[in-house]
Every structure is written in C-alpha cells, then in structure tokens.
Amino acid sequence: MARRRARGWGRIWRWGGMVLAVLVAIPLILTPVYLVVDPVSVPMLERYLTGRPVVREWRDIDQISDRLKAAVILSEDGQFCRHWGVDLGALRDEVEKLMAGEDARGASTITMQVARNLFLWNDQSFVRKGLEIPLALYIDLVMPKKRIMEIYLNIAEWGPDGQFGAVAGARAAFGIEPQDLDWRTASLLTTALPNPMVRLPGRPSAGMQRIAGIIAARARQYGERAACVGENGQLAL
C-alpha cells in the first residue's frame, strides 16, 4: 500500500515537473522570438478562443504619438527608462504597505505588465506577482526598452469591446490615428489603462478629466524621462 502511494506521488511530481518545465520554457523561447515577431496577448487569445471580437492593428512605435508614450510612462511607470524591468523601490514600498495592512497598488512596471499580458493571467494573486518579477527581468535583459514599449502599446487592452493597442483605442475613443493624439486625447487615453472596461476616454467622467490633466502636466514637465522610447532617443513633445 505504501509502495503504491509512493509511486502515485512520484507520478504526480514527474507530471508537475514536466508542466513546470513547459511553463518556464515558453517565455524563455518566445521572448527572443518577439524581438522580430509581433505577439498577441493572453487576453487576446482568450477572446479568440471564446469567439469574441478582437480589434488590433499593429503600429510601429515611431508612428505613435510621443505624447502618448510620455503620458503612459509618466502615469504607469515613471522609472521605465532607468530600471531593469522591476522598480525595486516601488516594490519595497508596496511590500511595506501590505505588511502594515494598507492597500497597495501592486507596483507593476510596464515590463511586468508586458510579462503578465504575454505569459500569465489577470487575476490578482501573490503567485502571479511572484512570476511577473523574474519574467520582467528576463524580458528587460533580452529586449531593448523601445521594443518593450512598442509591444505594450500594441497589446494593452484599450476598450470594452475587444479593442487592443493604441490604434484601436484611439480610433474607438476619438476617431483618430495614434500619431495624431494631442495632449488632451493622449492623457485621456492613458486614464483608461487601469480599467478599460469602465473608463471610456471618448466619454470621460469629471474624474477622468481631472486625472488626465494631472497626467498631461507631469508628462509635459518630466517628458525627458521617456526619451528612451523616442525616435533616436528623443521625444517631440
């Protein structure tokens, strides 16, 4: 009986090890591939598999408004051009808040969000957060910042009806192309990123307009922090 139980546990461990190896191998292999191949995200795949619409048109990062790049970075990850995929200072602050029983935002960098969208799931959990960190470090090691940002701007969910990426987001909200965004439309589009199911930049609430004003002011003042994603290392703001 004990021998049979031991064999059973042995099979479980072997299968578990194989599953873990596959899960590790997928991002290790695909991340270098995504240097030259334009990826789809897990949320996009989920919608494809369940027969729901996906609206996404890939756009080269140099054909997307520099104002949107600056607004997104200054809103989502102000140290994007400086850190190695993980903002250790912000992460430490979040851990301290959790230990003190306070609410925490999550400290997800843009690179961590790319890791989650490409390889993980969206439900909040410590397991997912723990996986995001090594994945983000690996992505930052393999990819230049500009490519990471290009992927982010083309896979971020930007609307309630399957709109993914800046092209679909800008068209759905304002009927314009992403290279034509001014400060108002770029900052309003950025306010939708935390919750594109509810926040509609084309019909912004008073709260969204207030937040957009703050984002635009920060991006105007500190836009040079986003220069790593501009053409030839510069942004035309």
In order along its 237 residues, the chain shows pLDDT tens digits of 555 555 555 565 555 455 445 556 788 899 999 999 999 999 999 999 999 999 999 999 999 999 999 999 999 999 999 999 998 776 665 555 444 444 445 568 999 999 999 998 877 767 778 889 999 999 999 999 999 999 999 999 999 999 999 999 999 999 999 999 999 999 999 999 988 999 999 999 999 999 999 999 999 999 899 999 999 888 988
- The DSSP line for 182-237 is -HHHHHHHHHTTT-TTT--TTS--HHHHHHHHHHHHHHHHHGGGGGGGSBTTB---
Q: Are residues 108 and 140 in the same domain?
A: yes
Q: Are residues 10 and 92 in the same domain?
A: no
- Cα 11 to chain centroid, rounded: 37
Q: Are residues 68 and 25 in the same domain?
A: no
Give yes or no for a contact between 182 and 174, defined as CB atoms under 8 angstroms apart: no
Query: Which domain, by its residues, includes 12?
Result: 1-33
Q: Are residues 81 and 173 in the same domain?
A: yes
Q: Are residues 20 and 64 in the same domain?
A: no
- 109 by Cβ neighbours in 10 Å (0-12 / 13-18 / 19+) ranks as buried
Radius of gyration of the chain from its Cα atoms, rounded to whole angstroms: 20
Q: Are residues 202 and 180 in the same domain?
A: yes
Residue 236, in any domain of the structure: no
Give yes or no for a contact between 169 and 55, defined as CB atoms under 8 angstroms apart: no
Q: Are residues 71 and 94 in the same domain?
A: yes
- 104 by Cβ neighbours in 10 Å (0-12 / 13-18 / 19+) ranks as middle
Residue 192, CA distances (Å) to 59, 125, 213 in order = 19, 22, 14
Q: Are residues 168 and 102 in the same domain?
A: yes
- Domains in the chain: how many in total? 2
**Token digits of residue 67:** 């104002």
**Token digits of residue 109:** 């960098």
Give yes or no for a contact between 82 and 108, defined as CB atoms under 8 angstroms apart: no
Q: Are residues 20 and 84 in the same domain?
A: no
Residue 193, in any domain of the structure: yes
pTM for this predicted structure? 0.87
C-alpha span between 180 and 197 (Å, rounded): 24
Q: Are residues 6 and 89 in the same domain?
A: no
Contacts of residue 198, Cβ cutoff 8 Å, sequence gap at least 6: 160
Residue 237, in any domain of the structure: no
